[in-house]
Structure formats: C-alpha cells, structure tokens
Amino acid sequence: MKAILDHIGIAVKDLPAAVAFYRDALGLEIEAPEDVASQHVRAHFVPVGEPRLELLEATAPESPIAKYIEKRGPGLHHITLRVENIEAALAQLKARGAKLIDEAARPGAEGSLIAFVHPSASAGVLVELKQSANQSAIRNPQSAIQRFTLGDLELISVDDGFFRLDGGSMFGTVPKVFWEKKAPPDHRNRILMAMRPLIVRGMRTMIIDAGVGDKDDAKFHDIYGMDRSRTLDDALAEAKISPEDIDIVLATHLHFDHAGGFTVRDASGRIRPRFPRAQYVVRRGEWEDATHPHARNRASYIADNYVPLADAGVLLMVDEDQTIMPGVRVQRTGGHTMHHQMVWIESGGARAAYVADMIPTTAHIPDAWVMGYDLYPVDTLFAKQKFLQQAVDENILVFFEHDPTIAAGYVREINGKRTLQPA
Ligand SMILES: [Zn+2]
Ligand SMILES: [Zn+2]
C-alpha cells in the first residue's frame, strides 16, 4: 500500500502560546480552524511544505486531546498517513494482526475518512490513517438529489454520474503539489468530477445543463473515466420528475459534459431531443463556436449533442443577458468559452447562482485556481473575483456543477480567507 505523510498532530494546551511561536515567531500561516465534533477538538492546520502541522486544541474535558495532555502533557500526538483506500488499508493491517483503535473508518476533518492504529502496533507512535475527501467520494459518491427552497421556487440538484479529467488541465497554472491535496489524481493523473444539473421549479420546470448523457462509446468512457453506475435518469426518477415534465432546458455552454444529456439515441439509432416537450435555450455566440470548432476546443464539442435540436426545431437562441423564466436570468461570464454564461436564480429576496465552469469545483474558489481548459483564463479570473465578492457580501447560495462531494454552499470570508460552508 502507498502511504504519504499528510500531517503531524500536536496536542496544544495553550493555543495563544502555540500561535505566538508557529505564526508570529516562525512566520507560518495558520489556516481557519475546524471543529471535529466527534473528537471534541479544534484543528488548526499549519502548511509546512506538502505535509502540514495540526495544532489540536481540546474543546471538551472528554476530548482525547484533553486526556492526552493530562497524562503526558502537551506535545507530539500523532502522525497521519494518507492512503488511497482506507477500508483496504484497515483490512490489510487486520490481516497482519496489527492492533487497531478504529476497526472501521469514520469522518475526520475536511470531509476525510480517518481511523487510528494502536500505538502498540506502530512502535509507540499513534498513527492515523486518512483517506482525503475526494478519495472518500470515490467510495461514497455524494450523488443523492438535494432539494432547496428559494422563495417561491424549488431547486433540485440532480446528478449524471462521475467522470475524470486531467488534474493539470483542471487547475491551469497551479502546481500539482498544491492541487493534488484538494483533488487527488488517479494513476492517469485524472481527478474525479461530478456532473450536477439543476432543476428549477416555479410556474414552469427548467433544467440547467444535463450532464454527459449516454450516446458515447467504450473508448470515450475509458478516456474520461466515466462512472455511469448512476445517471440523470436515476436522479430524475428519485426527484419524481419525468423528461416530459421539463419545459425549458437551459445551456450554460455546449461542452459535452454539459450538453451530452440534451439528446438521446433511440432504438432506431436516430438522435432526438431527450426532453420531448422542452424548448432548449442556447446562447447564440456559444452555438456559433460549437458549430465551428477549432483545434483548441474541438475535443469538447460533439455535434450530436446539439445539432439535432436545431433539426427538431426546439432551439431558442438568446443574444443578450436576459430573464429566461420568472426568477431565472442568464449572465455571460466569458472566460471558459467566449459566450459561457452563468445563471442567477432569485425569488422572495433570496438569491442562488449556478456558476457552471466559471468555478467548477469548490477547489477553484481561490483567485488563481483557473482551468487550463479556459480559452480566456484572465476573463475567468476577473469574472470570478467579482462574483465571489458578491457571493460573500450577499449570502448567495452557489451551485458547483463539477464538485465530487459538494453540490452547493455559501462562500464565507474568515480572517481574509475564503472558505465554503456546504449548504
Ligand atoms: Zn466546459
Ligand atoms: Zn464542464
């Protein structure tokens, strides 16, 4: 098994003194703290190269950290080794007779799964095993539908399975040593991504984007690591919505992971609109680009996903930022593609935003974390900076179309640092 040093835990009795040393004297940055309720501890991570230090503060007398300090005083508490599959690691240790504190993995900080090995098995050092959030998602895909109420509108986050894209391309100029901590790559350097269309139900029923769909062959599935064990059909059934219920299909842009689900191949092999009653709303500039691809964007555009819509006469082109149905408005962001658009949803004084590929995952919240796929990355940067400030100031519910674990959340700014509070 491959294990990477993730962090070193330090039991802290006097936090201000520890901060005075690690932050003020050494000049290190201390990340916003996170409470781990199950352990009654507050964790303050300190980046020091790839591994981090974790200052652990007890928040209740029954905390294991409080007990440790009482018995042995403050100091080194544990080391954490990151593994790809924590259940497999535990099974392997058990098979070799290693004594475990946790027989099964349980939730840790930052959405991870953790388990402790007994120090008697590991030369007197308490060893924590950790499977980070994205790797946890592979085994516990967060793919249930989620319902939200926004004024008079109902929003339902649905999903169309998972796929994988090259991690380097997904994070542009961000070095791998940084992004691999948030999005661990597989052996082909690909990271896990979800496809999460959004249903908006008001006077009419709309779906924004529709995932990748099911028209692609085995080679495509292999290249993009498609996981079709659950698809948009399953999610719609769970939401009790049939394709006939959809009045409007709204495209943020026409890349295959957003528009593939717009059409289906029927038994006769003919490609037809997947939502038989719907009008499909597409930005005209995006349509022009998608129907005239060049070498830089050709791999993302597959004509079968949208040309049959024009043939069927169900296409509605929009040229400007405008209201598509009451409470739903599109706004061009540019950046990812010249005419990429985000969607604002507003009702009863509350606002939500479906940002599509402007901020594809929660890992893309920091300013410079812009996709290499973007045709105009500096435009993405400026659009994103402006949007995120607004999201913080106005308490906007933000939907992340490709995040493998988090469908939506609120962006908060704590001590000048942005964090996401999952909804
Ligand atoms: Zn895209
Ligand atoms: Zn995308």
Domain CATH number, residue 30 = 3.10.180.10
Per-residue tokens: 283:
């930005």
Rounded to 5°, angle at Cα 358 from 340 and 273: 45
Residues 250 and 349 both lie in one domain:
yes
Look at residue 136 and tell me if it is in a domain. no
pLDDT tier at 219 (50, 70, 90 boundaries)?
very high
Residue listed under structure tokens 């080794």: 81
Q: Give me the percent of the chain exceeding a pLDDT of 90.
A: 71
For residues 408 and 422, the answer to whether their CB atoms sit within 8 Å is yes
- Range with lowest mean pLDDT among 178-182, 231-235, 285-289: 178-182
Averaged pLDDT score across all residues of the chain? 92
Residue 302 near residue 260 (C-beta atoms within 8 A): yes
Which of 144-148's residues contact partners 24+ apart within 8 Å by CB, and which partners?
Answer: 144/238, 145/235, 145/238, 145/239, 146/407, 146/408, 146/423, 147/239, 148/352, 148/397, 148/408, 148/423
Residues 146 and 122 in one domain: no
Distance 60 CA to ligand 1 centre (A): 46
Query: Which amino acid, one-letter code, is at 267?
Result: A
State whether 117 and 151 are in the same domain.
Answer: no
d(CA 176, CA 174): 6
Which residues have C-beta within 8 Å of that of residue 326, sequence separation ≥ 6?
A: 202, 203
Question: What tokens does 417 get?
Answer: 């640092």
- Mean of the pLDDT values across residues 324-342? 98
pLDDT tens profile 86-125? 888 888 898 989 999 988 887 777 777 889 999 988 888 9
Q: Tokens for 294?
A: 């060049």
Q: 74 C-alpha to center of ligand 1: Å?
A: 49
Domain end (from 90, 109, 131): 131
**354, 208 contact by CB (below 8 A):** yes
* Residue 281 Rama label (left phi>0; alpha psi -120 to 50; beta): beta
Q: Confidence class of residue 320 from pLDDT cuts 50, 70 and 90? A: very high
Stated pTM of the model? 0.71
Q: How confident is the model at residue 139 (pLDDT cuts 50, 70, 90)?
A: very low
pLDDT value for 134: 59
Please tell me the predicted confidence (pLDDT) of residue 229.
Answer: 87
Question: Which residue, 131, 163, 190, sits at the end of a domain?
Answer: 131
pLDDT band at 293 (very low <50, low <70, confident <90, very high): very high
Which ligand sits closest to the CA of 336? 1
Q: Which of 196, 145, 131 is nearest to 1 (CA)?
A: 131
**Is-contact 164 186, C-beta < 8 A?**
yes
Task: Tell me, in angstroms, the distance from the centre of ligand 2 to residue 392's CA.
Answer: 24
Q: Are residues 127 and 145 in the same domain?
A: no
Ligand number, closest to the Cα atom of 254:
1
Same domain, 155 and 116: no
- Expressed in angstroms, the distance from the first to the final Cα of the chain is 35
The owner of tokens 């399953």 is 234
Q: Is 314 strand, coil or helix? A: coil
CA distance 53 to 10: 7
Q: How far is the CA of 212 from the centre of ligand 1 (A)?
A: 11
Judged by DSSP in three states, 96 sits in: coil
* CA 238 to each of CA 143, 208, 235: distance values in angstroms, whole numbers, following the listed order: 11, 17, 5
pLDDT, one tens digit per residue, over 346-401 is 999 999 999 999 999 999 999 999 999 999 999 999 999 999 999 999 999 999 99
* Same domain as 176, residue 104: no
Q: Report the pLDDT value the prediction gives residue 303, as an integer from 0 to 100.
A: 98
Nearest ligand to the CA of 253 is: 1
Q: Which residues of 283-312 are buried (b: 16+ CB within 10 A; e: fewer)?
A: bebbbebbeeeeeebeebbbebbbbbbeee
CA of 106 to the centre of ligand 2 (A): 31
Q: Give residue 37's pLDDT.
A: 76
Tell whether 300 is covered by a domain.
yes
301 C-alpha to ligand 1 centroid (Å): 9
Which listed ligand is nearest to 196 at the C-alpha?
2
| 63 vs 41: CA distance, rounded Å | 7
Q: Is residue 67 part of a domain?
A: yes
Q: SS3 for 65?
A: helix
Judgement on whether residues 73 and 179 belong to the same structural domain of the protein? no
Chain segment 150-199, per-residue pLDDT in tens: 999 999 999 999 999 999 999 999 999 999 988 988 888 999 999 999 99
Structural domain contains residue 126: yes
Do residues 113 and 248 share a domain?
Answer: no
Is there a domain that residue 322 lies in?
Answer: yes
Do 231 and 100 share a structural domain?
A: no
* Count of structural domains within the chain: 2
- Whether 356 maps to a domain, the answer reads yes
Does one domain contain both 349 and 215?
Answer: yes
- Residue 57, domain member (yes or no): yes
Residue 332 Ramachandran class (φ > 0 left, ψ -120 to 50 alpha, else beta): beta
Higher pLDDT, 359 or 23: 359
Residue 196's domain is classified under what CATH number? 3.60.15.10
pLDDT at 184: 86
Residue 232 lies inside a defined structural domain of this protein: yes
Same domain, residue pair 158 and 95 = no
Ligand 1 centre distance from Cα of residue 91 (Å): 40
How many angstroms separate the CA atoms of 101 and 78, rounded? Answer: 13
Do 65 and 14 share a structural domain? yes
The single residue listed with the structure tokens 């402790």 is 116
The stretch 292-298 carries a mean pLDDT of: 96
Instruction: Summarize the confidence of residues 50-54 as an average pLDDT.
Output: 88
Q: Which of 70, 103, 131 is the last residue before a domain boundary?
A: 131
Domain of residue 123: give its range.
4-131
